Amino acid sequence: MKQWIVLILWMLSGIACGTAKRASRPGTTPPNRIEEPARNKFKNRAAIVTYAKKYLGTPYVYGGADPGKGFDCSGFVQYVFKHFNIIVPRTTKDYAAFGKRTSLKNAKVADLILFSLYDDYNTIGHIGIICAIEQDKVFFIHAASGKSSKKVMISELTGVHLKRMRFITNVME
């Protein structure tokens, strides 16, 4: 009985936006890995950003994936990409082995930025969509859970966001 309780608690700890990346041994498939589509035919990155911006101001709701009720970060990303028939994971932890990683220098609009938790750099806990690149400045749209924000908003990749950035992934190609 004790083992079942521990198992249930362990499974519940991996739900929603701030979920931990599961470790896997080299050469093995990470648990619950979502297989990437063979090819995404939709290539209009600007349309993805335009669509995402329609939801600016939508409230942040933990576990949310519905514009009428609110979004969490990964629910927002999944909702936007699903509109264009692009399948992406529902939780941030599942991005650890998803898409094609790229550098900040080679990032493009509609690439995804993954961030660590505030208190644990090794755990993926937040995601946003790059919505603008202006000279050396990168902006991203995300469902922010901060105490003063709690909504879909655009932020610049500086300060604490830059410090928490883990990687950028391309799910378009």
Active site residues: 73, 126, 142
Secondary structure class of 72 (helix, strand, coil):
coil
Paired strand residues for 71: 60, 65
Whole-angstrom distance, CA of residue 64 vs CA of residue 145? 11
CA distance 79 to 169: 17
| Start-end of H helices in 54-138 | 73-83
Q: What residues contact residue 138 under an 8 Å CB cut-off, 6+ apart?
A: 104, 107, 130, 132, 156, 157
The amino acid occupying position 55 is: Y
